[in-house]
A and B are shown apart, each in its own frame.
Chain A
Amino acid sequence: MSHCSCIWACKQITKAILSGSRSTFQKRVSLHFTRCYQPPRSVWFSSCLAESATQKLEDVYKYWSNKFLSHNIEEADISANYIVAHVLGHKTIYNLDAQTLLNQTQVDKINELCHLRSTGMPVQYVLGEWDFLDLTLIMRPPVLIPRPETEELALLCIETLVNDIEIERPTVLEIGCGSGALSLSLLKKCPKLQVVAVDISPTACSLTQENAQLLGLMDRICVIQGDFTLNKVQLELSRLSAFPLIVSNPPYLTTDELTGLQSEIECFEDPTALDGGLDGLDIIKEIILKAPDLLMTNGHLWMEVSHQQPPLIAKLVQNSHNDICLIEVVKDLFGKDRFCHFQKK
């Protein structure tokens, strides 16, 4: 863990230095160099403006996607696409005219963001925002970036809330809220819902709060910073209310799997949000054990897990002899066993 955050910190510092020095240097470059001048490849990151010939959208986009490709940045095309579109106030460039002329400020901004991307930073952090269902949420390193699978988890929870829970004003507990994506999308869809969100990381908690504020959902969410595995925190939660629904996207990677991930994840995302211990089940076990104390009778628990874990989890539930049972395992969009649905007897 310390290794990862070290790399991440280093990259941050390098970037800060680079971006600080670049802006003044770049202006000089654009004034003095003509188009025929080709600077040496080694300084490509500071002279992109001169290289990208004109300032047509098409050219800027092609320039950067080629650059990403030659520097082994993953998803080169689509990364450049998102960045260019973002600067122009769009989601993707498919609806934009390729011949659109970009002004200097736009090009500068694109270059700045593309430099960040070329350090290996995930696009979501580069843009500082990403979409989750209907919401656009602030994304900030090192808080975990919600994956498309989690969108499906949110939809499953909404279905449960609408169909199976007959409480006038239900309160949902989210364990490990991260950027707040799950909690906030539930709040957005269900106007009478309240959410208690817990996360161990203070940065995650403040980001959830920030996103809630952005979406005007502050009055229905209570964010608690604390370690769910601690008795103290569990006691505090059980005092709050008996929950009809608990939802969680807990860390479920095994410690072994943590090394050898994409550099985007390894170097930028908070390992505490990913590391589930030796078998990846540390937090999952904790949740299954403690959920019966927090749920009301017939209350539901939805959890996102790794695709090979459901059989292990089924055994775990059987052996734990508590009041909870695994009632279904739902596949994700890609056909992997991903979501475990439990219910308290």
Chain B
Amino acid sequence: MRKKSTNFYYGLPIWRPFANLTYSASLLPSFVQGLITADSRKTHTSTKFTIENPIYVSFLKSLVEEYNAAINANVDYVADADKRQRFNFLKLVTQSIQELEKKQGEVLELRSMMAEEDKEMKLLVDKEIIRLKKEVQIIEKELIDILVGQDSADNKDIVMEICAGVGGQEAMLFCAELFLMYRNYAHFKGWTVTGLSIEENEIGGTRKAVIEINGESVFKHLKYEAGVHRVQRVPKTEKAGRIHTSTVTVSVLPQPSEVDIDIQPHELRIETFRCSGPGGQHVNKTDSAVRIIHLPTGTVSECRQERSQIKNKETAMKNLKIKLYQAILEEEDKKRQATRKLQIGSKGRSEKIRTYNFQQDRITDHRSKDDFSNMPQFMLGGQGLDDLVLSLHQFEKLQLLESMLDSYRTEISKTKATKG
């Protein structure tokens, strides 16, 4: 079907409704402009985050200063996890910056030698400078990774929900295609897919598919897929040949990892019918009900099914653990529901993250403003999708760094203002 529609429109004038938005550089945030002109699939380097940029350098210097201050400050890093994390971060950054400075110093030294007349020598120095510059670039890239850090959820498994949105039958058809695409992508990356629930309609569309994907760095790769996907094409169901716009919503929810519940004996109050009195051989009481109260949370668990008190206690304990675990899960679930809402938005056509335009054989991601072609190959969920995911990853990194630099800039202007 995909092939048919592209062939059908082959040679016709191409309507590009978002051409302006995609290519007019003036509408984009300033630092992305550099990205668009470059071939986005290969490199995503921007001159913004190299040692050529004075603000970036001063930002880095401020981090080194903070590190030096932190070494001298007497802070208990064992107790304060936040500060410990910040300290480790600063340490890594400083190490990387020092290496960078060393290499940069070498480059400068070599440059001063360029004055030499000897041609052979000059050639050698040139080669050396080029080698060093490459190394500098590598370290700069690493530094960006360190600065941006890692999402703690990156390694988690996910549950992916793909739902047909606006557009009726056509949306369901595209939903089925997206579902296939992600399943193939999972196979391409060597992940395992478990179908949790799939609602199909009679013409081969999918109303809603929920799948679980397990594997290495699943969330890291698929977190950018969450949101509204828009498709523009002549649907199989359309008789008059008009182009329709439909949507499919995707949500990607990281799975909570097993939480080991640690219960300390002093946190428990165990109530029985045998508490008072001398106990032992002095009494013969048969009521073996046990109630356990977890004091920090006030959770109560009871058991009275068994005639053996110890058995009742064991069961009550098990139930208590389940209850506490459930509470943690619910907490995480609430958080996930919030993210889900954030990801999907109002399901409308407006909050789209990506457009699949079959007529123009173009896939546009509205966040990185990247365009991709070769729709049939892309929809197979192989290298094409992987390239897009990679570019989004890079985009996200740079955006994060930009925001860090921005807040640094405002901070500087503030201190200047107060000084002035």
Chain A residues at the B interface, C-beta cutoff of 8 Å:
74-75, 78-79, 82, 91-92, 94-95, 122-124, 130-134, 144-145, 147-149, 151-152, 155, 249, 251-253, 257, 261-262, 264-265, 269, 273-274, 304-307, 332-336, 338
Contacts and interface: CB of A to CB of B under 8 A. Distances in A.
Interface residues of B, number: 24
A313 to B, nearest CB: 14
A259 B281 CA distance: 13
Contacts of B91: none
A265 B284 contact: yes
Interface of B: 270, 272, 274-275, 278-288, 304-311, 313
B278 A306 contact: yes
Contacts of B279: 147, 149, 307, 332, 334, 336, 338
A124 B280 CA distance: 16
A261 B119 CA distance: 113
A79 B285 CA distance: 10
A131 B306 contact: yes
Contact of A92 (B304, B309, B310): B304
Contacts of B288: 148
B309 A333 contact: yes
Contacts of A249: 281
B281 A251 contact: yes
A340 B101 CA distance: 70
A74 B272 CA distance: 16
Given A149-B280, A253-B281, A332-B279, A124 B286 contact: yes
Contacts, number: 97
A262 B306 contact: no
Given A75-B286, A151-B310, A334-B272, A91 B305 contact: yes
Contact of B309 (A94, A151, A265, A274): A151
A131 B307 CA distance: 6
A252 B281 contact: yes
A82 B280 contact: no
A305 B278 CA distance: 11
B275 to A, nearest CB: 5
A343 B48 CA distance: 75
28 contacts: A74-B285, A75-B285, A82-B286, A94-B305, A122-B284, A124-B286, A131-B307, A133-B310, A134-B311, A145-B284, A147-B283, A147-B284, A148-B274, A149-B280, A152-B310, A249-B281, A253-B282, A261-B283, A265-B283, A306-B281, A306-B282, A307-B279, A307-B280, A333-B270, A333-B309, A333-B313, A336-B278, A338-B280
B304 A94 contact: yes
Contacts of B280: 147, 149, 252, 304-307, 332, 336, 338
Chain A CB count within 10 A is highest, among B275, B280, B281, B282, for B281
Given A133-B310, A155-B310, A251-B281, 13 more contacts: A75-B287, A78-B287, A92-B305, A92-B307, A131-B307, A134-B311, A148-B309, A148-B310, A151-B310, A253-B282, A304-B280, A307-B280, A334-B279
A269 B284 CA distance: 10
Contacts of B281: 144, 147, 249, 251-253, 265, 273-274, 306
Contacts of A134: 311
Contact of A95 (B270, B275, B305): B305
Given A75-B287, A334-B275, A261 B307 contact: no
A133 to B, nearest CB: 6
A77 to B, nearest CB: 8
Contacts of A338: 279-280
Nearest to B303: A94
A92 B309 CA distance: 13
Nearest to A129: B307
Contacts of A92: 304-307
A227 B45 CA distance: 92
Contacts of A307: 278-280
Contacts of A82: 286, 307
A41 B419 CA distance: 99
Contacts of A130: 307
B308 A262 contact: no
A130 B282 CA distance: 18
B308 A148 contact: yes
A132 B286 CA distance: 12
Contacts of A94: 304-305
Nearest to B283: A262
A127 B282 CA distance: 21
A78 B306 contact: no
A151 B274 CA distance: 14
A196 to B, nearest CB: 23
Contacts of A264: 284
B286 to A, nearest CB: 5
A208 B280 CA distance: 21
Nearest to A136: B307
A148 B314 CA distance: 13
Chain A CB count within 10 A is highest, among B270, B284, B304, B311, for B284
A124 B270 CA distance: 24
A261 B305 CA distance: 28
A257 B284 contact: no
